[in-house]
Amino acid sequence: MKAVEIKGIIPPVITPMNEDESINEAELRNQVSRQIKGGVHGLFPFGTNGEGYILNEQEKEQVLRIVIDETKGRVPVYAGTGCISTKDTIRQSKMAMELGADVLSIITPSFAAASQNELYEHYKAVAAAVDMPIVLYNIPARTGNALAPATVARLSKIDNIVGAKDSSGNFDNMLQYIEQTRDSGDFAVLSGNDSLILWNLLAGGAGGIAGCANVFPEVMASIYDAFIAGDLEKARKAQDSIRSFRNCFKYGNPNTIVKTAVGLLGYPVGRCRAPFNQVPEEGIEAIRAVLKENEAKGMCKCVKG
């Protein structure tokens, strides 16, 4: 199995689209390079911010091929391969392994309620089918199924299940992931909530899969880099600085807000795929104002000048 250290700021990179909702390859390549130049520590195509929930299997393969090719080994590539069924998840995971992804990020099955033992057996079967590092992905608000800390602890005993991303927004849940996997070697716990990344690190976590990095790659990467360098004040300032942007999430789906913001910076990323693509005019103006304020602070730069 490929040895990959799970750490740092890993953007769930957005999927740029043309007006007909097809994949904009040129801009996807541009966003990959932009993120890497911004200092991020990995890339996660077709996560929530990459609209993995609405891409078909052929599109996921297309996006992953592009991201791997453009990344050229500069940072690890995490492929989101979770599906509702175990069979489909294994098929997608083998596809990602064949294409050369470094890590699998596997979201819990959704829609139908699953017991903790069903979730355990699901991940155990996938882990047995692929010789790759796997990061569990808990986002119960979107899937309807929560990975309990005790289940994560059980799964951490499987050799190639090497980490977990917690997007529950419940800090105590993430703390329990960290506490209950301390005896599992280098098991890494990542925050899926951007506002909790520094607190994840302080508690012994490994970083975060950060949607806001699509807008502010340098700022988000600096949270981790400053923490590792021992500059907690710099890390805290970077963490606090994204609050004004996160306050804009009240205007719509967070990944729609993120993609809209990247577009307002001047990148031709298109809209999110319908029907999840609407932001009210007051939201647009709020995002524009926040970006202008943050550009003045050096947090971002509008490519339109």
Q: Residues 193-202: pLDDT tens digits?
A: 999 999 999 9
pLDDT of residue 2: 79
- Write the single-letter amino acid at 295: E
Q: Is 137 a catalytic residue?
A: yes
What tokens does 296 get?
């003045």
Please state the φ and ψ torsions of residue 252, each to the nearest 5 degrees: 170, -175
Phi and psi at 175, nearest 5°, equal -60, -40
In this structure, which amino acid lies at residue 283? G
CA atoms within 13 A on the CB side of 32: 27
C-alpha span between 108 and 164 (Å, rounded)? 11
118, 147 Cβ separation under 8 angstroms: no
- Tell the residue number behind the tokens 């890993």, with chain if given: 10
In which band, very low, low, confident or very high, does the pLDDT at 303 lie, cut at 50, 70 and 90?
confident
pLDDT of residue 119: 98
The percentage of residues in the chain with a pLDDT greater than 90, rounded to a whole number, is: 96
Average pLDDT, the chain: 96
pLDDT at 96: 97
Q: pLDDT tens, 153-184?
A: 999 999 999 999 999 999 999 999 999 999 88
Between 61 and 2, where is the model more confident? 61
Length of the chain (residues):
305
pLDDT of 68 > 50? The answer is yes
Each residue of 88-111: b (16+ CB within 10 Å) or e?
Answer: ebbebbebbbeeebbbbbbbbbbe
* 8 Å CB contact between 185 and 163: no
The CATH number of domain 8-234 is 3.20.20.70: yes
Within 10 A of 33 (CB to CB), how many other CB atoms are there?
A: 14
Distance CA 303, CA 305 (A): 5
Q: Which of 165, 224, 251, 267 is catalytic?
A: 165
Six-digit token string for 300? 């971002």
What pLDDT digit, counting tens, does each position of 12-62 carry?
A: 999 999 999 999 999 999 999 999 999 999 999 999 999 999 999 999 999
What is the per-residue pLDDT for 183?
A: 87
The pLDDT tens digits for 239-275 are 999 999 999 999 999 999 999 999 999 999 999 999 9
Task: Report H helices in the chain.
Answer: 25-37, 57-71, 86-99, 116-129, 140-143, 149-155, 171-180, 197-202, 217-228, 232-241, 243-246, 254-264, 281-296
- Residues of the chain with pLDDT > 70: what percent? 99
Residue 304 has pLDDT above 70, yes or no: no
Domain map of the chain by residue range? 8-234
State the catalytic residue, choosing from 120, 137, 177, 251.
Answer: 137
According to the model, what pLDDT value does residue 305 have? 45
Asked if 87 is an active-site residue, the reply is: no
Burial 179-204 (b: 16+ CB within 10 A, else e): ebbeebeebbbbbbbbbbbbebbebe
On whether the CB atoms of residues 241 and 219 are closer than 8 A, the answer is yes
Is residue 1's pLDDT more than 80? no
